[in-house]
Amino acid sequence: MKIWDKGFDNDPRIDAFTVGKDRELDLLLAPYDIEGTMAHITMLSEVGLLEADELAQLLPQLEKLRQEALEGRFTISGEDVHSEVEARLGPLGKKVHTGRSRNDQVALDIKLFTRARIRQTVGKVERLFNLFLQRADELKDVLMPGYTHMQVAMPSSFGLWFGAYAECLCDDLTLLKAAWDINNRNPLGSAAGYGSSAPLKRKRTTELLGFQDLAYNAIYAQMGRGRVERHVAFAYASLAETVGKFATDCCLFTSQNFGFVHLPDAYTTGSSIMPQKKNPDVFELMRAHCNRLQGIPNDIRLVTGNLPSGYARDMQLLKELYLPLFDEMDSCLDILIFALPGITVTKDLMSRPLYETAFCVEEVNRLVASGVPFRDAYKQVGQAVQNGTFHFSGELHHTHEGSVSNLCLDEIQARFQKLIADIG
């Protein structure tokens, strides 16, 4: 029986279309739906809408259901997780919905799910950050060519390259922190978007569920549907951009034309026709996953962008777009964390004649230091390159913050750790 039952059955085709993938996706939300119900009925008991002995009967049943859900044993035979939980509670289940709507239940479930998944992702980001920083420190003195316009430009280093991705993760964590804050506001008790005449204590459920604050305005709490998902998806899209760009670099740098970095054979795949091939498929697929993740915020906007205030069933489709993104992003982080320590680098790259012109700016700056005006030095070095007589035999003198010889890894780490501390 549906919890909105009016004494008639709708057409099975309508039922199938409107339920969609809800049963499958609600299994992901089940532990959080049950957790929310436990907080809600605790509050109902405190305001006199549920007897103490009824609460004492319901809480152990709900905890048992929550454990089932956490262990993957919970199933849904009814319309959705909400109706399933009510049915499993027997006659007392008829009381647990007082002061709620499925609208604020779903909003709550998604926020609790999101909070747990952001915590999980942040743990992986921290591991990846530490690996990038470790590799940067290990290889800080190993030079590699830097490119602009895909042309040899200036000397870089593997330390500078790995360190760049560590600092990118600081930006990504900043956005995850913002998404965390937007998500961490309790919508429970806003009901269908207009509150309830029941004497609810919304600050009490906020406290019980560990939210930072309330989504105070009942309409605003419902307007958060889609907005919260989009903000979180944007933060994940930023993280996906960082991981995807690193994957692209690895695809490029492992090719024979570059040969900057190398993967263990066990990290590669082969060709069905070319026996020599060792393909970086892991990074190609990582890049594809990350590209797809970057499109999810726009997909969410396309569902919700033209909706009026108030709930609309369109929002149901958000689950299909939103809930899977966490596993997809985390799988990319996991495989990168696994692969990163195994990447080796070519340590004598800059001794190759191909890269000698990368030192042109070094020669220009040497001449400037000796008193030659910059434009004259620039012209002089450019002419030597054109004549085929350019040669550089000096040493690098990069001292400013963030340059090849001054990676500022401690400062980057301090920034990252502050951000980590700000996420509960």
The span from the CA of 364 to the CA of 381, in Å, is: 7
pLDDT of residue 21: 75
Number of separate domains in the chain: 3
238 and 345 housed in the same domain: yes
What is the b/e burial string over 159-169, where b = at least 16 CB atoms within 10 angstroms of the residue's CB?
Answer: bbbbbbbbbbb
Residues 257 and 237 in one domain: yes
170/261 same-domain check:
yes
What is the 8-class DSSP label of residue 390? -
Residue-number span of the structural domain to which 87 is assigned:
12-98
Cβ atoms within 10 Å of 64's Cβ, excluding its own: 12
Dist CA 195 CA 50 (whole Å): 19
Q: Using one digit for the tens of pLDDT, what is the confidence trace for 331-352?
A: 999 999 999 999 999 999 999 9
Query: What is residue 276's predicted lDDT score, i.e. its pLDDT?
Result: 87
- Residue 395 is given by DSSP the state -
On whether residue 204 sits in a domain, the answer given is no
Roughly how many angstroms between the first and final C-alpha of the chain, as a whole number?
40
Q: What is the pLDDT of residue 79?
A: 81
Joined tokens for residue 190: 């806003």
Return the SS3 of 200. coil
Whether the full predicted model's pTM is greater than 0.75, yes or no, is yes
Question: What is the per-residue pLDDT for 267?
Answer: 87
Same domain, 290 and 300: yes
For residue 298, give the CATH number of its domain: 1.20.200.10
Residue 281 and residue 144 share a domain = yes
Q: How far apart are CA 82 and CA 6, in angstroms?
A: 17
Residues 35 and 46 in one domain: yes
Residues 88 and 142 in one domain: no
Going by the DSSP 8-state scheme, the letter that residue 403 receives in this structure is B
Ranges of the chain with pLDDT below 50: 4
CATH number for the domain harbouring residue 45: 1.10.275.10
| pLDDT on residue 186 | 98
Residues 362 and 406 in one domain: no
Query: Which of 272, 381, 286 shows the shortest CA–CA distance to 335?
Result: 286
Residue 164 and residue 296 in one domain: yes
Q: Where are the beta strands (DSSP E) in 54-183?
A: 143-148, 151-157
Q: Kindly state whether residues 164 and 47 are assigned to the same domain.
A: no
